[in-house]
Amino acid sequence: MQTILSASFGARQKSEHAQTNYLRHDFILPITVATCYRLPATVTQEAPSKAIDRRPIATRNRKWAQSSAAWLASRNVSPNAISVAGLCACIIGGLALGLTSIVDYRILWLIGALGAQLRLTANMLDGMVAIASSRTSKTGELYNEVPDRISDAAVFIGAGYAWGGNITLGYIATILAIFTAYVRAAGKIAGAPNEFGGPMAKQHRMLVITLICIYATITPHSWQIITFNDSHIGLMTLGLVVIVVGCVITVIRRVSRIAHTLK
């Protein structure tokens, strides 16, 4: 009888120990992490319902992105300020691209690439910080959309004026980039979820510009010209053609998907 009681008591201790470890890892640890960053424990993991209607960005799950968002949130950095910072970076990048047709400084191409990528980084972090600090608001949507449209204009107009670019295509790319966002917003107003599909969504457009800028940074002008018979086309012009065609396809796909959802 004593042996049975001892075994029962030992099993109970092991059960209580396992339960304590479970609570320690699944309850105490998140609270500890939240306390270190001065964040509420309820926002350390985003609720699935809040993540459904956001642009799918794999980089959000990277450790550096989550650490950066937590660091910014712990210092009460405004998500709207991050959006404006991304806008400023993109404007500087667009101006740098335009200057490449006036002066031959390769650093200008690099600034253009950095401007495009910093814009994307800011677009990702502003939402993460807003959720982590529980500072989501309707004005946040405004700061998220308006700077994005100005950023598109800055980049593509700058690309049109860049060395090897085409001014007309730069303005056409600007109009179509803004129109793709308009179709998404119109679909959401009509009752459909946000449609972020490509093949030429925001991140794809910035990727095209970034790759061209990096290539132009490390190659001479003679390598940035494509010759067709007697015609000479700059690499930036070709990139703008890809963006324009891709935006047209994107608009058609988004309209089709939104219409199918609303039926």
pLDDT tens-place string over residues 34-86: 434 344 433 334 444 344 467 778 788 899 999 999 999 999 999 999 999 99
The answer on pLDDT for 28 being more than 80 is no
The answer on pLDDT for 17 being more than 70 is no
Query: Which sequence spans correspond to the domains of the chain?
Result: 78-262
**Given 3-state DSSP classes, what are the helix, strand and coil percentages for the chain, each rounded to the nearest 5?**
75, 5, 20
Please answer whether residues 166 and 234 qualify as being in contact, where contact means their C-beta atoms are separated by less than 8 angstroms: yes
Residues making up the chain, counted from first to last: 263
CB atoms under 10 Å from CB of 72, counted, come to 20
Q: Quickly tell me which residue has 């600034």 as its tokens.
A: 111
Grade residue 135 by pLDDT with cuts at 50, 70 and 90.
Answer: confident
**Rounded distance between C-alpha atoms, residue 23 and residue 29, angstroms:** 9
122 class by beta-carbon count within 10 Å (0-12 exposed, 13-18 middle, 19+ buried): buried
Grade residue 223 by pLDDT with cuts at 50, 70 and 90.
Answer: very high
235 class by beta-carbon count within 10 Å (0-12 exposed, 13-18 middle, 19+ buried): buried
**Rounded distance between C-alpha atoms, residue 200 and residue 180, angstroms:** 9
- Mean pLDDT for the stretch of residues 186-196: 92
CATH of 78-262, picked from 1.20.120.1760, 1.10.3720.10, 3.30.559.10, 3.30.470.20, is 1.20.120.1760
What angle is formed at CA 33 by the lines to CA 31 and CA 36, rounded to 5 degrees? Answer: 110
Residue 226 has phi, psi (to 5 degrees) of -110, 130
